[in-house]
Every structure is written in structure tokens, then in C-alpha cells.
């Protein structure tokens, strides 16, 4: 173990993370290696980021090529990769316009600002409240932590931003009761990720859409974790037959390059006029060239088909584990967005898996979360299942 580096990190890095004592030096596909040469199969993928796997050769080539010609110019000018990426996202989604930024939180910031400005532009500035969900996660900036329905995320940062109301996920009556004349939008994840891989009931998102239409509200889908193929379609909204007015993306969009995007319908996007919103690095040619290649790989290497097939296999194998181990309460999955709820704490299992060369994650204390690269193989899934089978005997 590279203790010197870990000790140095503990001296110089802000203590915002409880890190595991591993120093990673390289990756390939769904495999990572630490500086001791120990190999890990990665079911975390940077938390649903490296959907095409680590060090994808095509992304690496495009990055190297782009870095040699142009990394950055101001958004005062145009560049080909940014326009190409926006065109692809518009063609592949409900959206008409795209705003690029650098992270998920920033994409949600843009969505929150756009929703408020949309009503402001109509002379309805008092319509500025956004209804979000309990156990949601939308980011760590002041606006997005204010939109996040988890007290622990907000602790110590008061006063939080005014204008957010919360209702339980999947509770339509509560949502309906919360809407008033000051509401401008509903912000929801099509599947709650950090909230414990929680799925909406079959009719829920459709009913939310109808409620928004009946009350003239905007519907914002946070697809930062569910987007870019994670649930088996490029965007999760495609599977529930509901179209939002605004969608936010980040994570898998750049396969590890920091990029976020807010996609919106024309009429809504029109509320952002020159000077209304901006960010220096947003959509620069380096990151957008990578994201363009990500989308091309999705098409040419049938990433969605692979995700659906391996996702179904993974689910079946986890259900097999559930039949053998009483401590497993529930398996919840769509594509390769997979959760396994345990009767007890998940942290000891995460550490035990790590010691055996499998990286997994735990959210909400007792939900094991598996969000591997979408290119993970059945054999790699088998490896994890065998490991969990063994470990769960003593759990
Ligand atoms: N929204 C969702 C649904 C997320 O899962 C995350 C990150 O986990 C975010 C927003 C925040 O994204 P970022 O960490 O890139 O700011």
C-alpha cells in the first residue's frame, strides 16, 4: 500500500471524503489496478460515470487528438465539438437546446435558474418555488443542496436557499397537496440513485406529468445518474413514456471527463438570453469532443443492448443470492442501475468485497449499489456473485 501518498493526501486534501486506503494508478474496461498491482473489478465506475469502462481507447485517442489542436476557447466563440455534441443530444432527446457546464450540480443549478427565469420572463416572479422529493440528491452547491431532500447534506450550511418544498417520492397525493400558486416546477429523479436505488411506481411519473400540465408547471428530470444508458435506454424517461421540459445530465456523458448538460424544450430554453447564465469551461472543445465520441461508441458498439442483456443476467444472479440469504431484503434494478437492500449495514460488505478485489458501493446505510461500466461481462458479474455468496454466509 502506498502509505506515504495516503499520509500526504491526509495532510493536504480537504477532509471532505472518508477514503478507502487504495491508490489507483490505471484501469481498463471494468478493471482497475492499484499502485501495488492489485486488481479490482469495478462495480462503482466512479459512481455511474465510466459507462464505457476505463481508458476506452477511442475516447483516449479523441482526447489526445483534440488536446493537440484546441483545449479551450471562451464561449464568446463557437467550436465544432460543442455544436456537434449539442446537435447529437437534441437529436437523441426531447430537447431543443443545450446548456453545457462542468458537473451534475451545475446542470441542476442551470435547471433551477431556468425554471425561475421562465416564469419571471412572463411577469410571474412570485411563481418561483420548486417541489422536490424526500431522499432526493441533486448536488452540493447551495441551490442544489437546498433542492436535496436529505438533512445530512444540508447540515451546517444554513441559511439554505429559499423556495424548495419536499414531498415523499411516489406519493402523488402529497405532491398534489403541495402545489400552490407559487409553484413553478417539480424536480425529480426518474430513479432515485443516492436515495437507495428507488424506482417510481408504474404510473407515478406519468401522473406527475399530468399534474404539471394541469397546473402549468415545468417538469425537470434529473438524469445525472440515470442518463447515458445506465437503465438500458439512453435516458430513463424514454422507458416511462414521460417527457420532461428540462433534463439534466453529467456523470456518464463524458465517461470521466467533467461535463454537465441541461437540455430543454425551445419555449422554456428561450428564457435564457445572452448574459443570463454562463460558465467559463462549459462545453469546451476537449470535453465535448470526448462526449461526442462517447455517443458514437454507444451507437457503434451497441452499449444499450449490452447493458440490457448483462443487466438482466446480473439481476437474475442477485435474485438467486436472495433466495439463499435471508439478510437480503430486496433486489431493485433496471439495466445496470442495481440496488440490493440488506437487513443490516452494508459497509462491512463493501470493505470485505474490496479486500477480495471487487469495488461496490453502499448508499442509505443498507443498500448495496452496483453501477458498473455498461461493458462489464457476465464472467465479471459471476465473480462478484461468488464473492458475495461467500461473504453473505457470515453476514
Ligand atoms: N444529481 C444526481 C441524481 C446525482 O446522482 C448526482 C451525483 O451523484 C448529482 C446530481 C450531482 O452531481 P455532481 O456530483 O457531478 O455535482
Distance 211 CA to ligand 1 centre (A): 26
Q: What is the pLDDT of residue 394?
A: 78
For the chain, 395 residues long, give each residue's pLDDT as a single digit of tens. 689 999 999 999 999 999 999 999 999 999 999 999 999 999 999 999 999 999 999 999 999 999 999 999 999 999 999 999 999 999 999 999 999 999 999 999 999 999 999 999 999 999 999 999 999 999 999 999 999 999 999 999 999 999 999 999 999 999 999 999 999 999 999 999 999 999 999 999 999 999 999 999 999 999 999 999 999 999 999 999 899 999 999 999 999 999 999 999 999 999 999 999 999 999 999 999 999 999 999 999 999 999 999 999 999 999 999 999 999 999 999 999 999 999 999 999 999 999 999 999 999 999 999 999 999 999 999 999 999 999 999 77
- Report d(CA 250, CA 104) in Å as an integer: 5
Q: What is the pLDDT of residue 395?
A: 76
Output the residue whose Cα is nearest ligand 1's atom 10. 138
- Report d(CA 131, CA 284) in Å as an integer: 32
Q: What is the pLDDT of residue 1?
A: 67
Distance 393 CA to ligand 1 centre (A): 34
Structural contact between residues 350 and 362, judged by C-beta atoms closer than 8 angstroms: yes
CA angle 360, 364, 366 (to 5 degrees): 65
* The pairing of beta strand 367-370 with beta strand 361-363: antiparallel
State which of 137, 244, 254, 287 you would mutate to test the pocket of ligand 1, scoring each by most atoms of that ligand within 8 A of its C-beta.
137
- Report d(CA 139, CA 147) in Å as an integer: 8
Measuring CA to CA, which residue among 306, 323, 295 is closest to residue 381?
Answer: 306
Structural contact between residues 313 and 168, judged by C-beta atoms closer than 8 angstroms: no
Distance 55 CA to ligand 1 centre (A): 22
**Residues near 101 by beta carbon (within 8 Å), at least 6 away in sequence:** 107, 109, 110, 259, 260, 261, 262, 279, 282, 283
Length reported for the chain? 395
- Report d(CA 221, CA 236) in Å as an integer: 9
Output the residue whose Cα is nearest ligand 1's atom 1. 138
**Secondary structure string (H, E, C) spanning the chain:** CCHHHHHHHHHHCCCCCCCCCCCEEEEEECEEEECCCCEEEECCHHHHCCCCCECCHHHHHHHHHHHHHCCCCCCCCCCHHHHHHHHHHHHHCCCCEEEEECCHHHHHHHHHHHHHHHHHCCCCCCCCEEEEEECCCCCCCHHHHHCCECHHHHCCCCCCCCCEEEECCCCHHHHHHHCCCCEEEEEECCCECCCCCECCCCCHHHHHHHHHHHHCCEEEEECCCCCCCCCCCCCCHHHHCCCCCEEEECHHHHECECCEEEEECHHHHCCCCCCCCCCCCCCCHHHHHHHHHHHHHHHHCCHHHHHHHHHHHHHHHHHHHHHHCCCEEEEEEECCEEEEEECCCCHHHHHHHHHCCEECEEECCCEEEECCCCCCCHHHHHHHHHHHHHHHHCC
CB atoms near residue 47 (< 10 Å): 14
Q: What is the pLDDT of residue 287?
A: 98
State which of 50, 103, 138 you would mutate to test the pocket of ligand 1, scoring each by most atoms of that ligand within 8 A of its C-beta.
138
| Atom of ligand 1 lying closest to residue 260 CA | 15
Amino acid at each position: 500500500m502506498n502509505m506515504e501518498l495516503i499520509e500526504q493526501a491526509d495532510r493536504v486534501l480537504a477532509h471532505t471524503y472518508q477514503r478507502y486506503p487504495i491508490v489507483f494508478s490505471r484501469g481498463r474496461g471494468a478493471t482497475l489496478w492499484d499502485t501495488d498491482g492489485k486488481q479490482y473489478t469495478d462495480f462503482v465506475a466512479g459512481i455511474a460515470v465510466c459507462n464505457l469502462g476505463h481508458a476506452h481507447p477511442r475516447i483516449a485517442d479523441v482526447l489526445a487528438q483534440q488536446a493537440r489542436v484546441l483545449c479551450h476557447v471562451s464561449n464568446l466563440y463557437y467550436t465544432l465539438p460543442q455544436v456537434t455534441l449539442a446537435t447529437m443530444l437534441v437529436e437523441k432527446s426531447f430537447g431543443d437546446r443545450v446548456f453545457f457546464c462542468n458537473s451534475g450540480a451545475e446542470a441542476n443549478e442551470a435547471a433551477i435558474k431556468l425554471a425561475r427565469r421562465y416564469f419571471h420572463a412572463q411577469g410571474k416572479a412570485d411563481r418561483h418555488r420548486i417541489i422536490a422529493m424526500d431522499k432526493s440528491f441533486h448536488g452540493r452547491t447551495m441551490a442544489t443542496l437546498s433542492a436535496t431532500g436529505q438533512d445530512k447534506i444540508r447540515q451546517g450550511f444554513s441559511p439554505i436557499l429559499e423556495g424548495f418544498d419536499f414531498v415523499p417520492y411516489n406519493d402523488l397525493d402529497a405532491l398534489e397537496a403541495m402545489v400552490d400558486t407559487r409553484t413553478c416546477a417539480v424536480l425529480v429523479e426518474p430513479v432515485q440513485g443516492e436515495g437507495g436505488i428507488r424506482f417510481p411506481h408504474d404510473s407515478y411519473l406519468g401522473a406527475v406529468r399530468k399534474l404539471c400540465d394541469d397546473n402549468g408547471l415545468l417538469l425537470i428530470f434529473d438524469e445525472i445518474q440515470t442518463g447515458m444508458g445506465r437503465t438500458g435506454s439512453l435516458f430513463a424517461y424514454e422507458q416511462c413514456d414521460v417527457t420532461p421540459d428540462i433534463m439534466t445530465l453529467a456523470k456518464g456523458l463524458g465517461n470521466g471527463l467533467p461535463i454537465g448538460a441541461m437540455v430543454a424544450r425551445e419555449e422554456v430554453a428561450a428564457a435564457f438570453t445572452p448574459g443570463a447564465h454562463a460558465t467559463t469551461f462549459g462545453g469546451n472543445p476537449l470535453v465535448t469532443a470526448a462526449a461526442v465520441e462517447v455517443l458514437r461508441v454507444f451507437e457503434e458498439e451497441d452499449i444499450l443492448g449490452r447493458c440490457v442483456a448483462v443487466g438482466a443476467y446480473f439481476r437474475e444472479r442477485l435474485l438467486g443470492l436472495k433466495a439463499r440469504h435471508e439478510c437480503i431484503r430486496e433486489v431493485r434494478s433496471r439495466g445496470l442501475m442495481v440496488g440490493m437492500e440488506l437487513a443490516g449495514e452494508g459497509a462491512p460488505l463493501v470493505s470485505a468485497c474490496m479486500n477480495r478485489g471487487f469495488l461496490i458501493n453502499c448508499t442509505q446505510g443498507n443498500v448495496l449499489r452496483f453501477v458498473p461500466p455498461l461493458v462489464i461481462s457476465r464472467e465479471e458479474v459471476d465473480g462478484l456473485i461468488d464473492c458475495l455468496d461467500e461473504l453473505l454466509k457470515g453476514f
